[in-house]
Amino acid sequence: MKEIFTDLYNKVLEFFTKTEEKESSKNVARNRLKLVLMQDRTNLNPQLLERLRGEMIELLSKYVIIDKELLELNFTPEDEQLALMLSIPVIRAKNEEEIEETIKAEDEQKAKIAKLLEESQNEDESASEEENDKDNEVAGTDEKVEDSDVKNIEESEELEKVEESENDCLEETDNVESSDGSVSERKFHSGGQLKKSKKHKSKNKETRKEENNSDVQDDNKPSYIVDNGNVSSYIVTNEGNMSEERK
C-alpha cells in the first residue's frame, strides 16, 4: 500500500517538475550560434581549414604514425575566443631511423624542387610559372613529387639552353651550392634535437617547434599553435619559403 502511494507521489512530482528538466532548444541554438558567429568573424573558410589539415598531417607524419582518417580539426568556443582544436590519434612514434629517412627524402625533394625553381626563374615565362609552382608546393607532397618529375622531363631540354648563357649559369651553380649546404646543415641540426625529444617526451612540443623554426629559418611566415590538452602540434605555413630561403 505504501509503495503505491510513493509511486503515485513520484508521478505527480514528475508531472509538475517536468518543464524544468526539459532539454532546452534555446541552449542548443545559443551554442550553435556562438560557434557560427566566431567562424563568421574570423573569416576562416572550409578550404583553408582543409589545407591546414593537409599540411598538418604532412608535418605530423614526419615524426609519428597517425591515423589520418580520424584526425580531427575543429573550432570550439573557449571563453570569448575561438580555439582551433586538433585531435590526433597517434598509432606510434617513428623511430630515429624512420625520421631521418623521411627528413632526408623531404630535403632531397626540396632541393630538387628548389633547383628546378631557380632554373625556371631564369626563363622568360618565369614570373607566372613560379607562382604556379608555389601553389603546387603548398597543395601537398604527392603533387610536389609529380610536379617536379613532370617538370624534370619537360624542362630538361630548356635547361640545357639556359645553361649555355654564362651569367645564368654562374648564378645557378651558386644557388645550388648554397642550397646543398643549408640542407646538410639542417639535417645535422634536426637530428641532434630529435635525440633530445626522444629522451624527454614531455618536451616534444618545444623541440618540434625549434625543429620547424630551423626549417623555415628567417622567414617571417605566420604560424599556428594548436593545442588539445596533451596532444599538441605546431605548424608553419611554408608557402613558397623554399625558394625564398635560397635567394
Partner 1 sequence: MTGKVLVITSGKGGVGKTTTTANIGTALAKAGNKVVLIDTDLGLRNLDLLLGLENRIVYTIVDVVEERCKLKQALVKDKKNPNLCLLAAAQTRDKTAITGEQLKSICEELKEDNDFILVDCPAGLEQGFENATAGASEAIVVATPEMSAVRDADRIIGLLESKEHIKKYNLLLNRVRPNLIKTNDMMSVEDVVEILSCDLIGIIPEDTGIITSTNKGEPIVNDEKSLAGQAYQNVAKRIMGQEVEFLNIDEPKDIVSKIKAFVLKLLKKESK
Which residues lie near partner 1 (CB under 8 A)? 13, 16-17, 19, 22, 24-27, 29-30, 32-34, 36-37, 40-41
Identity of the residue, 3 or 80, whose beta carbon is nearer to partner 1 in the bound complex: 80
What's the start-to-end Cα distance of the chain, in Å?
A: 92
> What span, in angstroms and rounded, lies between the C-alpha atoms of 104 and 85?
30
**For partner 1, the closer CB: 27 or 220:** 27
CB of 8 to partner 1, least distance (A): 15
Using the Cα atoms of residue 127, residue 131, residue 137 and residue 140 in order, give the sign of their dihedral.
Answer: negative
Q: List CB contacts of 221: < 8 A, sequence separation 6 or more.
A: 236, 237, 238, 239, 241
Shorter beta-carbon distance to partner 1: residue 42 or 152: 42
Q: Are 190 and 219 spatial neighbours (Cβ–Cβ below 8 Å)?
A: no
Minimal distance, residue 21 CB to partner 1, in Å: 10
Cβ atoms of 222 and 237 closer than 8 Å: yes
Distance CA 125, CA 94 (A): 42
| Least separation in angstroms between CB 225 and partner 1 | 26
CA distance linking residue 212 with residue 25, whole number of Å: 45
Rounded least distance, CB 20 to partner 1, Å: 8
For partner 1, the closer CB: 37 or 65 = 37
Q: How many CA atoms lie within 13 A of 233 on its CB side?
A: 25
Closest distance to partner 1 from the beta carbon of 61 (Å): 37
Rounded to a whole number of angstroms, the minimum distance from the CB of residue 7 to partner 1 is 17
Q: What is the DSSP letter of 94?
A: P
Nearer to partner 1, 25 or 230 (CB): 25
Q: What are the grid coordinates assigned to 200, written together?
A: 624527454
Pairing of strands 81-87, 90-93: unpaired
Q: Which is nearer to partner 1, 2 or 22 (CB)?
A: 22
